[in-house]
Amino acid sequence: MIFHNLKRFLLLSGMTVAILGLSESSFATYPEGYYNSLNGKCGRELMTAVKKCVASHTTISYGTDTWNAFKDTDVKTIDGVDYWWDMYSNNLVKVSSGHPGMNIEHSVANSWWGKTKNDAYKDIVHLNPSDQDANSRKGNYPLAELQTVSWTNGVTSVGKAKSGQGGGASNCYEPTDEYKGDFARVFMYMFTIYEDISWKSNTAWMYDTSKSLMFQDWARDLLLRWNSADPVSQKEISRNDGIYRNQKNRNPFIDLPDLADHIWGSKSNVPFDLDNPGVPDQPSDPEDPEIPSDDYSWLSENDSEATGWSYENTSLPSGGTYVWSWKEYNGLHYLNASAYIGGQAKKSLAYAWSPEVDMTNVKSAVLGFSHAAKFQTTLRDLCKVSVKDVESGEITDVAITQWPSAGSWTFTDCKGIDLSEFANKKVRIGFKYQSTDSGADTWEIRNVNLNLTRLDTGIDLNTDNEDDSFLVEVRGNNILAPVGARIFDLNGREFEGTSLQRGVYVVVKPSFDKAVKVLIK
């Protein structure tokens, strides 16, 4: 046997905790030669090899047999009592009581493939015992880092995603820091092993089946970051061993922590070496941030669907049922608008809207796209870029600066449209199509890009006042700080100083010479 040992010590309220009934010195094991087929491969070839290596497994019947398997994968022992290990809440439910108030939760929502009760539905790698309320609250939302929180139990949080994340979903869920790496490695497994099942287009917030490596860019970056920021824990190692005993396969992203970087990350062109495994790429130092820049890319000519975009028909043309549609010609896709029906121009007004964009603390916003229009009568006068204020519903038209030449379907780039006036609002970027009975031109659009450059946090740490940062203290799960101090986590969310979850927090105040970084254990 080959033995791999990764340790994380766990302290819970001063109580003795045995993970899955094993001691801290336990180690993960996998059969000698189990991963030999991965050697020398990278990128898509490595992803295919991973699938071939671990996809075949013993299928466990969903229900009672799942709970029986959980006894070997998801139990923690506290002061000699066995409890279900719930990664969605802090509730302690005794194994001996059954599982009252708990569900079998799919971390990768089964509605994403139409709820078909296939092997993915039953795979215990992504099944967990979960508090019913947390399960219901998170629904089928994608993972993301949240900008605003509408519900939380301290372990699972639901709300609006940070700008650039969420894939257009109305809500997302964010696990506590302790489990972010766990979920990242599970998602990597699921979208590798089950890449060829029927993933649905209406829930494609994190994935893109037209991409050979499955994930949307924002989701890939998020999972890689969580994979490195929250390293493999003893809990995961022990759980992986339990999965192997029950299901006869393993999650290789736990056994081989830097494997993901050789598929999706910076090492995707570097052959994986099983004999000399590295560590996941480390995130940049949060104490030395750059001013963030958000780059949005929508409606690529290679996208099979206009994911996250919606259409608003203010006035449909007579005899027509739509204005905007997503079309394809010679393998290239584009957003199409037209009210020319039955050989006649028809009066209409309709908008195509992007997913929501958070322009908080934006100092500059620049829009660009490519478009084509062979026949141009009223097009240049009536059709605009539009911006909708999400809160008020107000729509503002913005003039288009560069138009394609008439007479052909050649796409022309329109660059440098300044949207900075919408800073500090949540908006949807859109295209306004308008026509009359004398002019209803066809308009084609694709490759839309929005670049936002944000200000820093706006918190001035330079002051002539006496530095009182020495007054910051940590007591248990509380941070004690001088009046006027503000407390943030590393995702930029502000908190009160009481009953905080485990993690790193930053305390700032104008009278501090510099921010104070503290750890809640």
Which of 198, 147, 187 has its CA nearest to residue 169?
147
103: phi then psi, degrees, rounded to nearest 5:
-120, 165
Q: What is the pLDDT of residue 293?
A: 55
What are the mean pLDDT values of the chain's consecutive 10-residue runs (521 residues total)?
29 34 44 92 95 95 96 90 93 93 94 94 96 92 92 90 92 93 96 95 94 94 93 90 95 93 92 81 51 76 87 91 93 94 94 90 91 95 94 91 93 93 92 95 96 65 57 82 79 75 80 80 72
Give all strands of the β-sheet with 494-495 in edge-to-edge order.
Answer: 494-495, 486-489, 503-508, 516-520
Q: Nearest 10 degrees: CA dihedral of 133, 137, 139, 142?
A: -130
Q: What is the pLDDT of residue 121?
A: 96
Q: Which amino acid is at 303?
A: D
Q: What is the pLDDT of residue 392?
A: 87
Distance (Å, rounded) from C-alpha 463 to C-alpha 3? Answer: 55
Please classify residue 474 by burial: count the beta carbons closer than 10 Å to its beta carbon, then call 0-12 exposed, 13-18 middle and 19+ buried: middle
Q: What is the pLDDT of residue 6?
A: 28
Joined tokens for residue 328:
């394809």
The residues with which 474 forms a beta bridge, in sequence order, are: 479
Q: Which amino acid is at 162?
A: K
Distance (Å, rounded) from C-alpha 452 to C-alpha 292? Answer: 8
Q: What is the pLDDT of residue 157?
A: 93
Distance (Å, rounded) from C-alpha 204 to C-alpha 307? Answer: 7
Q: What is the pLDDT of residue 22?
A: 34
Distance (Å, rounded) from C-alpha 18 to C-alpha 379? Answer: 69
Q: What is the pLDDT of residue 231?
A: 87
Q: What is the pLDDT of residue 77?
A: 87
Joined tokens for residue 192:
């590798």
The residue behind tokens 């929508």 is: 298
Q: What is the pLDDT of residue 17?
A: 38
3-state SS, residue 162? coil
Q: What is the pLDDT of residue 292?
A: 53
